[in-house]
Structure 1
Amino acid sequence: MKIISLTFILMVFGGFAMAQNDESMQMKPEMTEIWDPEVSVITPGEKPSDAPSDAIVLFDGTDLGREWTNGDGAEPGWLVEDGCATVKAGTGIIKTKRVFGDVQLHIEWRSPSEVKGESQGRGNSGVFLQETYEVQVLDNYNNRTYRNGQAGSLYKQHAPLVNACKAPGEWQTYDIIYTAPRFNEDGTYFTPPTVTVLHNGVLVQNHVKLRGPTEYIGIPEYSVRKHGKGSIILQDHGNPVSYRNIWIREL
Structure 2
Amino acid sequence: MKRIFALTLAVALLSPSAFAEDIDLKDTYLDPATAPIDYKIQGEYEGTAGPDAVKFGVQVIALGDGKFHLVSYADGLPNAERSHKDIKAEIDGEMEGETAVFTNDLFKIEISNGELNVITVADGILRGTLYKVQRESDTLGAEPPAGAVVLFDGSSADAFEGGKRMGDLLAANCFSKEKFGDHTLHLEFRTPFKPKARGQARGNSGVYMQSRYELQVLDSFGLAGKNNECGGIYSIAEPNVNMCFPPLQWQTYDIDFTAARYDDQGNKTKNARATIRHNGVVIHDDLELPHGTPGRHPEGPEPDALYLQGHGNPVVYRNIWVVKK
TM-score (norm 1): 0.69
Q: Sequence identity, in percent? A: 37
Whether the 8 Å contact between 1:98 and 1:231 is mirrored in structure 2 is yes
The answer (yes or no) to whether the contact 1:115–1:168 under 8 Å persists in 2 is: no
Counterpart Cα distance in 2 of 1:241 and 1:225: 26
- After superposition, what is the alpha-carbon deviation per residue over 1:128-170, rounded to whole angstroms, capped at 9, x for unaligned? 111111111111013457x111111111101100000111100
Structure 2 residue aligned with 1:57? 150
Residue 182 of structure 1 is matched in structure 2 by 261
Alignment of 1:66-145 (within 5 A): 67-70=159-162, 76=163, 78-81=164-167, 83-87=168-172, 93-143=173-223
**Cα offset for 1:121?**
1.2
Query: 5+ residue gaps in structure 1?
Result: 1-45, 71-75, 88-92, 217-222
Report which structure shows greater RCO (CA 8 Å, sep ≥6). Answer: 1
Q: Secondary structure at the match of 2:243?
A: coil
CA-based RMSD of the aligned residues comes to 2.1
1:3-82 mapped onto 2 (5 Å cutoff): 49-65=142-158, 67-70=159-162, 76=163, 78-81=164-167
| Distance of aligned partners of 1:224 and 1:184 in 2 relative to their CA distance in 1, 3 Å threshold | farther
Matched residue, 1:235: 309
Tell me the secondary structure at the aligned position of residue 120 of structure 1.
helix
Alignment deviations for residues 164-215 of structure 1 (CA, whole Å, 9 cap, x no partner): 0111100000000000010134544211000110000000010110111102
Per-residue CA distance 1:60-104 (angstroms, 9 max, x = gap): 012012x1112xxxxx3x3421x21133xxxxx311111110010
In 2, Cα distance between equivalents of 1:173 and 1:156: 22
- 2:279 matches 1:200: yes
What secondary structure, in the 3-state scheme, does the structure 1 residue paired with 2:248 have? Answer: coil
Q: Which structure has the larger Rg over C-alpha atoms? A: 1
Determine helix, strand or coil for the equivalent of 1:52: coil
Which one has a larger percent helix, Structure 1 or Structure 2?
1
Q: In 1, distance between residues paired with 2:302 and 2:321?
A: 21
Higher strand share: 2
Shift in alpha-carbon separation, 1:227–1:121, aligned structure 2, 3 A: same
Q: How many residues align?
A: 186
Answering whether residue 230 of structure 2 is matched by residue 151 of structure 1, we say: yes
Q: Hey, what's the Cα distance between the residues in 2 that align with 1:173 and 1:139? A: 13
C-alpha change, 1:56 and 1:137, in structure 2 (3 Å) is: same
Q: What code does the residue aligned with 1:141 have?
A: F
